[in-house]
Amino acid sequence: MLPGAKSVKALTSCLGSRGVCNESNSLTSCEQPSSLATDGHRSVRSRRSRCQRFSSGVGEPGGLQAGGGAGGNKKITWIMLEAGAETDVVNSVGRTAAQMAAFVGQHDCVTVINNFFPRKKLDYYTKPQGLDKEPRLPVKLAGPLHKIITTTNLHPVKIVLLVKENPLLAEVEAMQKCYYVLDLICEKCMKQRDMNEVLSMKMHYISCIFQRCILFLKEPEHTLDGLIKSLLKGRDKDGFPVYQEKLIRECIRKFPYCEATLLQQLVRSIAPVEIGSDPTAFSVLTQAITGQVGFVEAEFCTTCGEKGAAKRCSTCKMVIYCDQNCQKMHWFAHKKVCKMLKEAQEKQEIKAANEKKRQERKQKREAVQAAESISNQEQLVSGNTKEREPKCDGDKTEEIIPNKQIPISPFSPDNLSEESNLTNTAVAKAYESEE
């Protein structure tokens, strides 16, 4: 909540019919004379910049600037959208609110913007049109249906839970009217001038989930709890929900507009992947519709797919839940593979520990070898400097050779004199012997 506003009502009361604060273009008065508005704009001049953050900043009063006005807050973004802020207005650099929010890393705001559907567009179907005597959608179903349409969690179990928690929707006749209206919205999104493939795909997907709910409700002794169990039931070897994966793939395959670029992207991403491998059809569909990027670090509930789940199974530590209710719903399927997952987790931890030790030993060995090579180089350098020390005398440099014993040559003068004496003595003896 912004400073100076006592409640959400005070904030919405300051928003004009198109989502811009009535005070943004005035410095003296607010159009709301109530005490809430007075308290919210007690210092009008100091708060004018804050109020202007609710506009796009490019002369379009109905624009939504997610990075500035929303400030990364999903609730504020939702309030602005409900007040009439337009999501297709571009700023001075030609970017929409969703594009700017994605650029600054506000992925939650991107999700809210991409999944928003104005209530007035749904209320259009609550009134008879043309020759129709009755509305296509009863007024009592508009609220619950709008809640499902604007949800950011597209997990099939979550959608079925939203249907189950509202008794007005959990009837075959009511759900038939709802999915018929969803099909009309899907068609309208594809045939209008500003084609919206994302919203059309979402309406078609929710409509397919509703039709599957109707099939279960029509069967004797079948309830929505049975559908939830079918969606959560996993295969024996790893607990992967095969039925859920096939249902999502079937919903995508039944999209009636084959020329849609979004459909072609989804098919290219999902078709080569075997069932049970990553990425799953749900993750690809969620990324395409909500705008969530793959590298966002978040934990999702294994049961309902809700973001921000923090509770893990106390035995295997592998599956995550948002609360105990989700854990209880999933236990019938998880108990078959819980021990298996625990053993796999322990093996993985042992393998990771061994790999870490191996890396540490390798690093130590490399450090020792590096130290030894450095010491050897230092010894070689010190030995060379001792053997050859340059002596500088002015501009001349002489090398001082260490003193060594020079061997006496056999042809030195002393050796030659001794040999001549011996020769003379031998000649004298030979001469005497002849006489």
What is the Cα–Cα distance from 97 to 273, expressed in whole angstroms? 33
Please tell me the predicted confidence (pLDDT) of residue 422. 58
Q: List pLDDT tens digits, range 261-291.
A: 999 999 999 999 999 898 899 999 998 887 6
38 falls in which pLDDT band (50, 70, 90)? very low
Distances in Å between the Cα of 422 and the Cα atoms of 132, 145, 428, 433, 434 are 151, 135, 10, 17, 19
Return the number of other C-beta atoms located less than 10 Å from residue 141's C-beta: 22
Question: Given its phi and psi angles, is residue 392 left (phi above 0), alpha (psi -120 to 50 degrees) or beta?
Answer: beta
Radius of gyration of the chain (CA): 42
Above 90 in pLDDT, residue 433?
Answer: no
Above 80 in pLDDT, residue 430?
Answer: no
Query: Nearest CA to 72 among 47, 95, 105, 117?
Result: 105
- To which H or E segment does residue 284 belong? helix 281-290
304 falls in which pLDDT band (50, 70, 90)? very high
| Alpha carbon 216 to its chain's center | 35
Mean pLDDT of 344-365: 89
Q: Are 124 and 181 in contact (CB under 8 A)?
A: no
Least confident interval from 15-29, 166-180, 201-215: 15-29
> SS3 for 115?
coil
Above 90 in pLDDT, residue 124?
Answer: yes
Question: Given its phi and psi angles, is residue 130 left (phi above 0), alpha (psi -120 to 50 degrees) or beta?
Answer: left
Q: List pLDDT tens digits, range 403-420.
A: 444 444 444 444 445 555
**Which two tokens mark 157?**
């179990």
What is the Cα–Cα distance from 231 to 208, expressed in whole angstroms? 14
What is the chain's length?
Answer: 435
Q: List pLDDT tens digits, range 52-110.
A: 343 333 334 445 554 445 556 788 888 888 888 888 788 888 888 888 888 888 878 88
| Alpha carbon 321 to its chain's center | 19
Contacts of 297 (CB under 8 A, 6+ apart): none
Over the range 151-173, which residues count as b (16 or more CB within 10 Å of their CB) and which as e?
bbbbbbbbbbbbbbeeeebbeee
Least confident interval from 1-5, 86-90, 214-218: 1-5
What is the Cα–Cα distance from 167 to 159, expressed in whole angstroms? 14
Please tell me the predicted confidence (pLDDT) of residue 303. 93
What is the Cα–Cα distance from 153 to 83, expressed in whole angstroms? 23
What is the Cα–Cα distance from 40 to 282, expressed in whole angstroms? 44
Q: List pLDDT tens digits, range 137-186.
A: 999 999 999 999 998 899 999 999 999 999 888 889 999 999 999 999 99
Residue recorded with tokens 């309030």:
79
> SS3 for 193?
coil
What is the Cα–Cα distance from 402 to 405, expressed in whole angstroms? 10
